[in-house]
Amino acid sequence: MENRKKTTDNIWTVFLAILAVAYCYPVFMILINSLKKERAIGTGNIFKLPTAETFNGLAHYAAAINSQGFLKSLGFSLLITVTSVAAILLFCSMCAWYITRVQNRFTKALYYLFVFSMVVPFQMVMFTLSQTADRLGLNRPVNIWIIYLGFGAGLAVFMFAGFMKSIPLEIEEASMIDGCNPLQTFFLIVLPILKPTLVSVGILEAMWVWNDYLLPTLVLDIRKYKTIPMLIQYFRGGYGKVAMGPMMASIMLTIIPIIIVYLAGQKHIIKGVAAGAVKG
């Protein structure tokens, strides 16, 4: 029985290793092509490693940063991601705390409404969303976080509520006896306990917002505001020709920050997802 289990584990290890290589290979392809000269990036040469003749160093990265408003788009993406994730973490954690501590029909209906929002396809609401955003003035990077809060609240409330059900109520009652009001109890007692779920939800939501292309394209004025994914889509050289080298470099510059954030917090993601989805 033990040998059979060991064999099964080895098979799964090999299978998952192959799967990981398959997922990482496109990123590796973008990396090696971002280091090639423009003429070397073609249908026949795209799978070849850079050689002494085709190696272009970091020239494409410099071209990507210095052209097409890359730094401006990077600023827009950072602003949208930071404000959206901060709003999701703050408001959704408070909402989940209210839902788990106030047990009545309203909070139950509210919880199921958040859960239901996770299964509603974005395509069902994207056209009305664009019109509503224009009418309410939510078509700028400084306030688009309100829209992201609405779309990200389902997963966040679900995970926060699942974790909060495991927090003993006696801890909060003790803080109340010591003189804390509800806000002090939440920020001084509950929020620190939520750290694993806060980190996991924050990273998952940041990956979604940072890489999102469709929502900003529908809501923002592309003539004034372009996030990084939008900029890559419209990356053009002279006479409308696609500059493949700088575009590959832009993609690498885009995915590197979010990969670093994910790798730094991956252990918290596993803990937070397990706590938010299983407990309670």
In sequence order, which residues have a C-beta less than 8 Å from that of residue 15 and are 6 or more positions away? none
Say which DSSP state 220 is in: S
To the question of domain 59-278 being in CATH 1.10.3720.10, the answer is yes
Cα 61 to Cα 101: distance, rounded to the nearest angstrom: 51
Say which DSSP state 123 is in: G
DSSP string of 142-207, one letter each residue: TTTHHHHHHHHHHHHHHHHHHHHTTS-HHHHHHHHHTT--HHHHIIIIIHHHTHHHHHHHHHHHHH
DSSP string of 25-94, one letter each residue: HHHHHHHHHHTB-GGG-STTTTTSPP-TTTB-TTHHHHHHHHSTTHHHHHHHHHHHHHHHHHHHHHHHHH
- Phi, psi (deg, nearest 5) at residue 259: -65, -45
Cα 83 to Cα 148: distance, rounded to the nearest angstrom: 9
Is residue 241 a contact partner of residue 39, using CB atoms and an 8 Å limit?
Answer: no
- Using 70 as the pLDDT threshold, list the residues of the chain that sit under it: 1, 42-44, 68, 235-241, 268-280
Cα 236 to Cα 221: distance, rounded to the nearest angstrom: 19
**Position 149: which residue type?**
L
Cα 196 to Cα 210: distance, rounded to the nearest angstrom: 21
Cα 241 to Cα 234: distance, rounded to the nearest angstrom: 11
Say which DSSP state 141 is in: T
First-to-last C-alpha distance (Å) of the chain: 34
* Cα 146-151-152 angle, rounded to 5 deg: 95
Handedness of CA 252, 253, 254, 260 (dihedral sign): positive
- Per residue in 231-255, pLDDT (tens digit) is 887 765 545 567 778 888 888 888 8
Cα 14 to Cα 132: distance, rounded to the nearest angstrom: 49
Residue showing tokens 């859960």: 115
> Nearest Cα to 218, choosing from 117, 168, 113, 144?
144
**Position 7: which residue type?**
T
* Residue 278: per-residue pLDDT: 47
